[in-house]
């Protein structure tokens, strides 16, 4: 079993900052790409940012220059530093990880989500 647990969401005013964290635990052999997705009401889930085990990053155009993704491989953790937040960043943010377990089975895992609300 593998679990992803997010933390750090909340309510912030426009222009403010939040830092999201996600910790993976359980039967983990290798964690490949980790990332953050978000889903606003009435919209599809979209990729916000992703980071490979080597540290290569990918960002949605809407967050480039404002958000920074990072990871700590020793702690199976990924972070998302969100600065200059806008009301349109309001969504439920989900952690995602591609994990290979000790049986060498690869799967895609999701956290339960954390609410980010940006007020204008």
pLDDT in tens, 15-52: 999 999 999 999 999 999 999 999 999 999 999 999 99
Q: What mean pLDDT is reported for the chain?
A: 97
Q: What is the pLDDT of residue 106?
A: 92
Average pLDDT over residues 88-101: 97
CA separation for the pair 102, 28 (Å, rounded):
6
Confidence at residue 104, expressed as pLDDT on a 0 to 100 scale: 87
């Amino acid at each position: 079993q593998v679990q992803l647990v997010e933390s750090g969401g909340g309510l912030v005013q426009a222009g403010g900052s939040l830092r999201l964290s996600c910790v993976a635990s359980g039967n983990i052999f290798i964690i490949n790409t980790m990332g953050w997705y978000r889903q606003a009401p009435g919209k599809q889930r979209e990729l916000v940012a992703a980071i490979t085990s080597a540290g290569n990053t990918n960002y949605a155009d809407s967050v480039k220059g404002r958000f920074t993704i990072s990871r700590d491989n020793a702690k199976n953790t990924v972070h998302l530093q969100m600065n200059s937040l806008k009301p349109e960043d309001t969504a439920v943010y989900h952690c995602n990880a591609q994990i290979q377990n000790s049986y060498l089975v690869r799967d895609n895992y999701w956290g339960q989500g954390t609410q980010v609300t940006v007020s204008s």
